[in-house]
Amino acid sequence: MTDVLLLARTHVLTAIRERVTLFWFLIFPIFLLAILSFVFGQLGQEGEISFEVSLVNLDRGAAGSFSEMIESVFDDLAQSGEEGKEPLFQLRRPTSEEDAGAFLDSETLAVRRGRRAALVVIPEGLGRRIETELVTIGPSHGAASSDEAALQIYYSEGNASSDMAVAIIDQVLAGIDREILARTGRFDPQAAIPSSTTWVGSTSEETRYVDFLLPGIVLMGLFTNALFGIPGAILFARDQRVLRRYWVTPLSVPRFLGGLGLGHVALSALQIAILVVFGRYALGATVRFASPTALLLLLLAIATFMAFGFLVASVSKTGTSSMAIANILNMPMMFLSGLFFPITGLPAFIRAIVYANPISYLADGLRASVGVGTPLFSTGLAVGVPLAWIALSAGVAVWRLRWDVGR
């Protein structure tokens, strides 16, 4: 067993003692994580004058009710006031055939992810409650449970545009209050439309992007590490006759592979740990990889990428040509996988590449498992496609990979 452990140690040591490897292995992913989160994390916060707000009116009472009036006020604010000027709100409403409940769910999620500044819900019975409490004096009148109905505002704390939108909505509601009172000829400074605000997420705009990005960067790091590291470790060692020195001892290829695999998993674990710690403490990421599903997916990712490394090693003549092949594969495979941006809405021929790319499934599955994003693919696909790649690569490696030169 010592031989396998010492070979693993050898793989780890040679990787971290060589500066070039260390750069691609650690510094580059950290650098990319920092750059991308700083650049894209700030987007949508500067010079924003228009807020995307969703509005759902569940109070389908008589025409001319107060609920309808509130709705129309928001409608007005969503119209462009002056020429060339953006309206204050970009209002999203459920379409007539859309189920209000489903719309509510998806929009709540959108607020949490920062795609909407706020969600305003007019509950059933709000109109009547306003009528009884604000217009007809005294709360004693109405006794129905619908009297508890209050305008609900969902927002995301720490998200600048969400905070601003809520402040604006408060102003709008105050305006509506005054309008109602003026209309009914009463003025009670205490009276106000009953409303409640609900906080739907703990992530700010910046950390939200970092949370989306971090699983992608982790996968990128693992992929690059395996794509270059595995063929490098095998082919350069083979070409320089480092391996031949091993083969004249009782060491077997399976034990060598055991050591290489173990060393690679250890390196990958180190890489994940450093990226997650950096993401969390330097960039404020909150995603947690500690769930069994996430850990299993990370293991699957390490295995898939390692297999991919073996595939590259198998089809390369020399260590140098394996680096060229890895370079050719690296960028397209990373960018056509949804690591850095969503893969929906790409042209069909590119989508074909995306769907053949195991990283797409791993990225999708990992993001879902850490709670950023709903999965696009079924669990069967998320696990099956990478497993198919592992099987294919193993087959090609057994068939083509040569463990010594000139034999």
Partner 1 sequence: MSDALLRVTDLVKHYGDVRAVDGVSFSAADAAVFTLLGPNGAGKTTTLEILEGIRDPDSGTIEIFGRRLRRVDRATKQRIGVLLQEGSFEPYLRAREVIRLFASFFRSSRSVDEILDRVALTDKASAFVKNLSGGQKQRLAIGAALVNNPDLVFLDEPTTGLDPQARRNVWSVVADLKATGVAIVMTTHYMEEAEALSDHVCIMDYGRLIAEGPPRELSARLGQETIVEFTADGIGEDDLAPLATCCKAARLEADLVSVETEDLVPTMESLLAWSKDRGIRLANMTVRQPNLEDVFLSLTGRRLRE
Spell out, one character per residue from 367 to 406, where the chain touches partner 1: x when CB under 8 A holds, - when not.
-------------------------------------x--
Using the contact rule CB under 8 A, the part of the chain among 11-19, 29-37, 116-124, 167-175 near partner 1 is 11-19
DSSP 405: S
Which range of residues in 53-61, 238-246, 263-271, 318-326 is near partner 1 by CB under 8 A? 238-246
Q: Which of 53, 237, 323, 362 binds partner 1 (CB under 8 A)?
A: 237
Residue 2 in contact with partner 1, rule: CB under 8 A: yes
Smallest Cα–Cα separation from 126: which of 187, 68, 170, 185?
68
The first and second tokens of residue 256, run together, are 């060598």
**Which CB, 5 or 352, lies closer to partner 1?**
5
Among the listed residues 133, 162, 168, 151, the one whose alpha carbon sits nearest the alpha carbon of residue 70: 151
Q: State the nearest-atom distance from the C-beta of 24 to partner 1, in Å.
A: 15
Could you say whether residue 22 binds partner 1 (CB under 8 A)? no
* 384 torsion bin: left (phi>0), alpha (psi -120 to 50), beta (else): alpha
Binding to partner 1 (CB under 8 A): which residues in 239-278? 240-242, 244-252
Residue type, 287: V
Least distance to partner 1, CB of residue 318, Å: 15
Q: What is the dihedral of CA 58, 60, 63, 69, to 10 degrees?
A: -10
Smallest gap from residue 240 Cβ to partner 1 (A): 5
Cβ–Cβ contacts within 10 Å for residue 254, how many? 9
Does residue 144 touch partner 1 according to CB under 8 A? no
CA proximity to 194, closest of 263, 147, 257: 147
Rounded to the nearest whole angstrom, what is the least distance from the CB of residue 247 to partner 1 in the complex? 7
Neighbours of 336 (CB within 10 A): 20
- Which of 250, 345 has the CB closer to partner 1? 250
Binding-residue pattern over the window 185 to 204 for partner 1, x denoting contact by CB under 8 A: --------------------
d(CA 269, CA 273): 6
Nearest residue (CB) to partner 1, 11 versus 92: 11
In this chain, which stretch among 5-13, 109-117, 216-224, 281-289 interacts with partner 1, using CB under 8 A?
5-13
20 binds partner 1 (CB under 8 A): no
Count interface residues toward partner 1 (CB under 8 A). Answer: 25
Which among 56-64, 236-244, 286-294, 320-328 is the span making contact with partner 1, rule CB under 8 A?
236-244
> d(Cα 267, Cα 328) in Å, to the nearest integer?
23
CB of 404 to partner 1, least distance (A): 7
| Other CB atoms within 10 Å distance of the CB of residue 354 | 18
- Token pair, residue 138, equals 């005294």
For residue 115, state whether it binds partner 1 (rule: CB under 8 A): no
Q: Judged by CB under 8 A, which stretch of 3-11, 23-31, 301-309, 319-327 contacts partner 1?
A: 3-11
For the stretch 166-191, what's the b/e string if a residue is b when 16 or more beta carbons lie within 10 angstroms of its beta carbon? Answer: bebbeebbeebbeebbeeeeeeeeeb
Residue 318 near partner 1 by CB under 8 A: no
Q: How far is the CB of 275 from partner 1 (least distance, A)?
A: 23
Told to check if 10 binds partner 1 by CB under 8 A, we report: yes
Those residues whose C-beta lies under 8 Å from the C-beta of residue 137, and which sit 6 or more positions away, are 186
Contact (Cβ atoms closer than 8 angstroms) between residue 244 and residue 405: yes
- The reply on whether position 17 binds partner 1 by CB under 8 A is yes
Closest CB 402 distance from partner 1, rounded Å: 13
Closer residue to partner 1, CB minimum distance, 233 or 326: 233
Q: In Å, how far from its chain's centre is CA 372?
A: 4
In the chain, how long is the greatest CA-to-CA distance?
Answer: 101
DSSP output for 171-234? HHHHHHHHHHHHHHT---TT----EEEEE--S--HHHHHHHHHHHHHHHHHHHHHHHHHHHIII
Nearer to partner 1, 2 or 190 (CB): 2
Give the residues lining the site for partner 1 (CB under 8 A): 2-3, 5-7, 10, 13-14, 17-18, 237, 240-242, 244-252, 404, 407
